[in-house]
Chains A and B, each alone.
Chain A
Amino acid sequence: MIHFDDVTFTYAEKSEPTIRRLTLEIPEGELALVVGQTGSGKTTLLRAINGLVPHFTGGTLQGRITIDGRDTATYPPRELADLVGVVPQDPMSSFVTDMVEDELAYGMECLGLAPAVMRRRVEEILDLMGIADLRDRPITTLSGGQRQRVAIGAVLTSHPKVLVLDEPTSALDPGAAEEVLAALQRLVHDLGVTVVMAEHRLERVVQYADRVILVPGGNAPITWGDPAVMMLSTPMAPPVVHLGRLAGWSPLPLSVRDARRSASGLRSLLIGQQPHLRSVRSAPVPVAEIDSLVVRYGQRVALREVSITVDAGTITALMGRNGAGKSSLLNALVGLVPHAAGSVTFHAAAAQDHPSRNVLATVGLVPQEPGDLLEAITVAEECRHADRDAGCAAGTTRALLALLAPEITDTTHPRDLSEGQRLLLALTIMLAARPPLLLLDEPTRGLDYPTKHRLAAILRDLADAGHAVVLATHDVELVAEVADRVIVLADGEVVADGSTTDIVTSSPMFAPQVAKVLAPGPFLTVDQVRTAISEESA
């Protein structure tokens, strides 16, 4: 179905090719998963499939890409629209119309299908994607998961043979991600659609894939193969694979179910063991106190009398589905949204000796759209600005960035960075200021596993140095790795608040893979299991 024949692609202003001598064939009806580092060229590979690369982006493409016999050199994206459906990374920015039903019909209108056909297909897709109750809703009123399903439905109405998705679940809560993946499964199984999908959250998708395409970035060649084989060696692997490697299971488990069937020995080995948790100060020092905080947007109440105390030296995770009030809470803490009632008190002791004389002396937030934070024209300049804003020594931000993302170069324009790299830069700017209270809104969107580990280590260091960290996230694996405390929000209220182990193991939705495999044991991460095993054998 998809043939890459000795393809090399170079962006106009780059000297090194992004794709180098790739020969690849994806047969019909396969679900191929594209895996790779942040900024390694996954998006470029996906966009080459429908000709957006190079027709839309510019650059030089050598070799041939044919989709069902059509050469992308002679067919621009619009002439491939009936064959390839593309769902971009951020569906909201790619909607053309403002109502759900019109959006579903848009592609078919462009293809010139007969009105009767369009009418029938819209009804079919509404049912297939489970969005029939949203048909006459304005798109702006939909939640993240609903938008993603509408975006997929909107390309499916043209009956493409190939569906290309760029991180379809990265912005979604675990429940919404499951809905989207279930819909994709149905497409592959029932309709024989060929699906090519890039995703960082392998724990969600790798068990569905027929093939993994690894885009390592740099000058290393693109490789592919059976998921279980590919997962043996790559660092881009979900926790269940790391656990399987640690325990030496063969074949390597890709899903929680496979792992559980092999895990009886490991479970009995770990009986009676307790994981080592990060030690938290016994006498808590509050950094911020939130007292019956109410936030409302017109008639909609985003937070209802929420009271939380954040202590120094702790990492707190805010969880809950899209629209539960997580971002509202973070924004209210830095004063970006007005408080309708209640109060937020910062205990200034920590801020006394902070070098900067502004808001960063009390609290720093990395927003959900990190691109807005960047305004310089090179990465180096951005870092210098950040040093000045934070009042820290020159070069601090740049050094930290080198630690988090060694591949980012000084002269790059921040807008040319990949989604994940931009997030890293924004994170670094805030981390460099070392505010007593650091807030992160969805800090792992578009980040690969190694980068996530580095981020987790930096957050733990910050907490050990007495800073408080609050992160709003859907990433249960990150929560298991770093958080001491989890607060679950629903509909603007706190529905659960307790230690990470208690909260995540009690909920199937929020449990990390290791906890699911080793239940009822209290282990959450592979590192905890590794320590426990080495102690057992010692």
Chain B
Amino acid sequence: MTITGPVALGSQSLPRWIHPGAWWLWALALALAASRTTNPLLLILIVTVAGIVVYRRRPNAPWARSFSFFLALGAVIIVIRVVAQAILGASFGTVLVVDLPSVQLPTFMAGLTLGGPVYLESLLGALYDGMRLATIIACVGAANSLASPTRLLKSVPAALYEVGVAVVVAVSFVPRLVEHVVSTRHTRKLRGRTTRGVRAIAGSAVPVLHGALESSVVLAAAMDSRGYGRRAPVSTMSRRTTSAAVLIGLVCVVIGSYGLLSPGMPAIVAIAFILLGLFGSAAGLWWASKSRTRTVYRPDPWWLPEWLLAASAIGVVVAFIYVGNMFPALLVTSTMPPAIPALPMLCVIALVCAATPGWFTPRPPLHSSTPVVVEVRT
């Protein structure tokens, strides 16, 4: 006799880490969608979708609390954008909101106006523009909360591994530098010296840079003695060929993307460039990876939930590009005259689909131990 559960879920839906690449793909798709529209309703919807998924699927880790920071940053950007428009920007329109006292600027700053009448149309334009930027930032914040950048590094192709490590070391260099600045300020205090003024900065610059550099050298020595940089013997010729393939491929991708965004090049040529470039770089990277002896510990799997996540991301991009090409007025809300923003059904459906990962993806694993600084002794 066999006993079966209500649904055969399999191990794919047990709590586990979702592939960080899938989360970043999803978040970048939302950001791309946001960059194509100034429709405030759609922008709010995108932020809501990102927020729902972050709320439901973020892990219990230090980096996961960054989403609210990114939201706050976005809000600040909107405020700055609108205020700057009101005070500095040339305002056009018919509906006068307020008439600020204007300041006559000297002739060499003729492009700028300070104060003067502020019209609703200009303010709305600035508001939508700020919202778009804030939404893009919120999407990056969502990716950051759902999967830390260091986890993403684990999935980088072996050929790019060194570049990835350099990035991670550079990122960890900054907190180290800050640590050294703090401790040097402290020790200056201990020696009874001032911690303010030019002399203090000059005096502490040497130990700070020394200290940070020294810790980097120590780290480099440790990495070297643990085998970083070992590689299988490869001929110079094949190394150069692979580098050339990757480089040419990336140039093709850049040309193709430019062509896709600018009206000058036929879409089919641009897409051909992109595909050719991607193929070239992929082949180069694959070939280069063969010369590495490096392996990855517990790589994150790419299973059905990851495929669905990627599909929802592609759905959003396709929907926004299609609507944007066919009915541009739906995505770009008119401010001149101010119009009520439309709500294109296709985009809404795609965004609702992009919110479903909050339910269908497996939960992140719980930490078995919460960080405590007490040592247990037996």
Contact = CB atoms under 8 A, between A and B. Distances in A.
* A and B held together in a complex: yes
A171 interface: no
Given A323-B375, A359-B189, A371-B211, A56 B224 contact: yes
B222 A105 contact: no
Contacts of A50: 225
Contact of A372 (B180, B203, B293): B180
Contact of A158 (B187, B211, B227): B227
Given A136-B367, A138-B371, A109 B224 contact: no
A88 B222 contact: yes
Contacts of A122: 297
B195 to A, nearest CB: 11
A107 interface: yes
Chain B CB within 10 Å — which of A78, A80, A82 has the most? Answer: A78
Given A78-B225, A138-B371, A356-B192, A88 B218 contact: yes
Interface string B224-253: 111111100000000000000000000000
B368 A81 contact: no
A74 to B, nearest CB: 14
Contacts of A373: 187, 190-191
A323 B192 contact: no
Chain A CB within 10 Å — which of B203, B215, B227 has the most? Answer: B227
A374 interface: yes
Contact of A429 (B191, B367, B372): B191
B367 A374 contact: no
A93 interface: yes
Given A96-B223, A359-B190, A115 B298 contact: yes
B9 interface: no
A133 B186 CA distance: 35
B190 A334 contact: yes
Contacts of B204: 375
Interface in A97-119: 97-98, 101-102, 105-115, 118-119
A491 interface: yes
Interface string A330-343: 01001110000000
B225 A372 contact: no
A420 interface: no
Interface in A74-102: 76-82, 84, 86, 88, 90, 93-98, 101-102
B263 to A, nearest CB: 46
Given A359-B190, A375-B204, A110 B230 contact: yes
A323 B367 contact: no
A484 B373 CA distance: 30
A389 B193 contact: yes
Contacts of A108: 295, 297
Nearest to B186: A336
Contacts of A111: 227, 230, 293
A241 interface: no
Contact of A96 (B226, B294, B298, B374): B226
B200 to A, nearest CB: 11
Contacts of A84: 225
A136 B369 contact: yes
Contacts of A119: 297-298
B214 interface: yes
A145 interface: yes
Interface residues of A, number: 85
Contact of B207 (A93, A107, A359, A374): A374
Contact of A78 (B184, B230, B374, B376): B230
Contacts of A421: none
Nearest to B368: A136
A322 interface: yes
Given A52-B224, A138-B371, A94 B206 contact: no
B56 interface: no
Nearest to B224: A77
A175 B295 contact: no
Contacts of A96: 219, 222-223, 226, 228
Contacts of B292: 112
A492 to B, nearest CB: 11
Interface stretch (A214-222, A272-280, A360-368, A518-526): A360-368
Interface of B: 62, 150, 180, 183-184, 186-187, 189-193, 203-204, 206-207, 210-211, 214-215, 218-230, 292-299, 367-369, 371-377
19 contacts: A77-B221, A80-B225, A81-B226, A84-B225, A94-B218, A101-B298, A110-B230, A111-B230, A112-B230, A113-B295, A114-B295, A146-B375, A300-B373, A321-B375, A331-B186, A372-B180, A375-B203, A430-B190, A433-B192
Interface of A: 50, 52, 55-56, 76-82, 84, 86, 88, 90, 93-98, 101-102, 105-115, 118-119, 122, 133-138, 141, 143, 145-146, 154-155, 158, 175-176, 179, 300, 321-323, 331, 334-336, 356, 358-361, 364-365, 367, 369, 371-375, 377, 385-386, 389-390, 415, 429-430, 433, 491
